[in-house]
Structure 1
Amino acid sequence: MSGKPRIGFLGLGWIGRMRMEALGASGIVEISALCDPSGECLREAAMIAPDARMVADLDELLSLDLDGIVIATPSAMHAAQSIRCLEAGVAVFCQKPLGRNAPEVADVVAAARRADRLLGLDLSYRHTAAMQKIREELANSRIGRLFSADLVFHNAYGPDKPWFYDVSQSGGGCVVDLGVHLVDLMMWVTGFQKVTQVTSSLYAKGKRLGGNPDTVEDYAVSAFELADGTSCRLACSWGLSAGKDAEITATFYGTNGALEMRNIDGSFFDFEAAVMHGTTREVLVVPPDEWGGKALIAWAEQLTRSRKFDESAEEHVLTAGVLDRIYGREEVAQPRLLARAG
């Protein structure tokens, strides 16, 4: 394409505006259009991108011949809006989750493939300096052969929007909101291997939920195993008495040591990476690290080179399949995924 890609933003709540600010500061795109039903959100967004055109809805966005659209609307809208954009020939970067379940995610990825358009997802923790370093060290066998991992994301607060607590709109609770990052990190650093078995326990206000629950969970624990025998334990929650704002850790155990990403002093934003041998711990990465917008910036940089479909989008279907199995939905989702894989 000639010139900078022209980008529109659909959904301008806090996360949409933060991502737009980071992308605007990068200077690699032209922020051309803004869309949100809230006048207040539009006004705040216009302070960040004063030259952008304000539009009423997705139809008007799609009439502007944009190169890409960034979607940061409620989760229930993600799949349908992404598909509409892709079918109109527009590249998409979407907030997680891409869909409320694995079949929805598979439908979006299939639409991107048919349209031959770039599809990105805001899996932002991949882009922290701490996780980048850990992935590099795992690839270099810094801790020998990886055989296990513990992944945790406890948020002492719950979401502040009512739709998060409606399964039909959100697709689930803390697992689809926070656990998606943990599953993605595990799959990402181990090459998206097949997951051979999954067990899980989901709770809402201390009450155990059954499989495929119609109530959102606020606490979950899960264990799964990869094809090479690597085991993973996962825990995530909303509103847990954590004694701090958040506990976010990803610890990888090898035959010759361990690697860990850990948030500092309960922060949602500050992370360090460390390598551990026996009783010793060596810090490898410390803040500051402006990582919040890096996933979007990486998508935009790729867009400047090509709008074409990237095969890595299929990773999102695999991760969503693991989430469905944590929720006990595999009997519903797996046949559709197998059909697509075939």
Structure 2
Amino acid sequence: MSGGDARADTAARDGRIRTAVVGMGWAGRSIWLPRLAQHPAFALTAAVDPDAVVRASVRRDHPDLTVLPTVDALGAEPVDLAVVAVPNHLHAPVACELLARGTPVFLEKPVCLDAAEADQLAEAERSGGTVLLAGSAARYRADVRRLAELVPKLGTVRHVDLSWVRSRGVPSAGGWFTDQRTAGGGALVDLGWHLLDVLTGLLGPLGVAQAVGAVSDDFLHDGAWRAVWRKDAPVAAGGDVEDTARAFLVTDHGTSVSLRASWASHEPRDVTTIRVEGSAGSAELRCTFGFSPNREGGPVLTLLRDGEPERIEVPREAIGAEYHQQLDQLVSALTDPAAPGRAITEARSTIDVIDRVYASAARSRA
């Protein structure tokens, strides 16, 4: 019996969730492999990547792990969950293949790049009789959860400001991340998906009646603005997506939303700001999402009512702790009878907003 088979067999006996990670890029190797290996509810049994050099590197780092070249090869492995972290344009095709044969899938964002892919995922989930799970880890941050607890105290929500602005943080400039064909978009698809997911977590599913937006690429073509902390392979800077997107939305209920997602800027640090304004008060969270070391000193959450600011205590947590919290939620979601269809419903809403912002930006440029 191989090391991977032995691990899977042991996991089956002790009730852990036998998990494969598909895609050994930065997210697969830096986020998911270490956290799945550490989490007591999961048994990391397999990894999949088409690149032979990458597979050899993974085998060196994880000698007990079964490392495979294709999702087809994964079919022979006993897997209770597949975490899919491949390039964006492969998210839906790979997830559909797994779902259709009955394998539960956790799909990294973006869940889909258009409505047609959402339809394909929905059909694969139904035909396989299984579940697609998704969602941004950002909504599981301790500071975001604390902000969510304050929202009911704010009365009727009138406006939400959402921004994630990096100082220098263009990912894989010149690689698939900045190619429209493989990424589906730039900072709006990458950072903006997290912000829109947090908005859903704060206010629930929202229909958007109006959406306007603008995009720019002032930093994309200069390698000095790349995300050096990602340790991506050096490639020539450039691409055909935006490094900054700005949007203004109005929901079906009349709540306005301003959104900014920037891979790079002239700011000294990477800052995420979420401000919720209501009829009875406002609350603002200032922090830094993600893994960049160039971050705020710590999250600051402020409640403001009748001109009186109140600093709200927020638990301190390690960078990336939200991914561990997300894994905690996946354990129960896998057996939740209401889970099938939920991820796709939320993804449809998010991709609709993103499509409309891009369409508005294109009209403005024309």
TM-score by length of 2: 0.79
Answer yes or no: is 1:298 the counterpart of 2:329: yes
Match of 1:217 among 242, 249, 255: 242
User: Kindly tell me: are residues 106 and 130 of structure 1, through their superposed partners in 2, closer, same or farther at Cα, counting changes over 3 Å?
Assistant: farther
Answer yes or no: is 1:247 the counterpart of 2:271: yes
1:1-342 correspondence runs (5 A): 3-17=15-29, 18-38=31-51, 41-42=54-55, 45-46=58-59, 49-138=62-151, 141-155=152-166, 156-160=168-172, 162-205=175-218, 215-244=240-269, 246-263=270-287, 267=295, 271-277=299-305, 278-289=307-318, 290-303=321-334, 305=335, 309-313=339-343, 314-328=345-359
Secondary structure of the residue that 1:196 maps to in structure 2? strand
User: Kindly tell me: are residues 261 and 50 of structure 1, through their superposed partners in 2, closer, same or farther at Cα, counting changes over 3 Å?
Assistant: farther
Secondary structure of the residue that 1:142 maps to in structure 2? helix
Contact 2:245 2:262 in 1 (8 A): yes
**1:47, CA displacement in angstroms?**
6.5
Q: What amino acid maps onto 2:324 in structure 1?
A: G
**1:182, CA displacement in angstroms?**
1.2
User: Kindly tell me: are residues 225 and 243 of structure 1, through their superposed partners in 2, closer, same or farther at Cα, counting changes over 3 Å?
Assistant: same
Contact 2:109 2:134 in 1 (8 A): yes
**1:271, CA displacement in angstroms?**
3.4
Report the identity percentage: 25
Secondary structure of the residue that 1:157 maps to in structure 2? coil
User: Kindly tell me: are residues 102 and 270 of structure 1, through their superposed partners in 2, closer, same or farther at Cα, counting changes over 3 Å?
Assistant: farther
**1:281, CA displacement in angstroms?**
3.5
Using the alignment, how far apart are the partners of 2:25 and 2:100 within structure 1? Answer: 25
Greater mean deviation of Cα atoms: 270-279 or 69-78: 270-279
User: Kindly tell me: are residues 299 and 270 of structure 1, through their superposed partners in 2, closer, same or farther at Cα, counting changes over 3 Å?
Assistant: farther
User: Kindly tell me: are residues 274 and 67 of structure 1, through their superposed partners in 2, closer, same or farther at Cα, counting changes over 3 Å?
Assistant: same
Secondary structure of the residue that 2:148 maps to in structure 1? helix
Using the alignment, how far apart are the partners of 1:12 and 1:206 within structure 2? Answer: 27
Q: What amino acid maps onto 1:142 in structure 2?
A: K
**1:293, CA displacement in angstroms?**
3.2
User: Kindly tell me: are residues 31 and 48 of structure 1, through their superposed partners in 2, closer, same or farther at Cα, counting changes over 3 Å?
Assistant: farther
RMSD: 2.7
**1:58, CA displacement in angstroms?**
1.1
Contact 1:117 1:307 in 2 (8 A): no
* CA deviation string 1:104-157 (max 9, x = no partner): 23421332133231212240111001111222221xx21222110110011221
User: Kindly tell me: are residues 83 and 173 of structure 1, through their superposed partners in 2, closer, same or farther at Cα, counting changes over 3 Å?
Assistant: same
Contact 1:31 1:49 in 2 (8 A): no
**1:206, CA displacement in angstroms?**
8.1
Instruction: Report the count of equivalent residues.
Output: 320
Using the alignment, how far apart are the partners of 2:281 and 2:73 within structure 1? Answer: 55
TM-score by length of 1: 0.84
Contact 1:187 1:319 in 2 (8 A): no
Q: What amino acid maps onto 2:303 in structure 1?
A: V
**1:202, CA displacement in angstroms?**
1.4
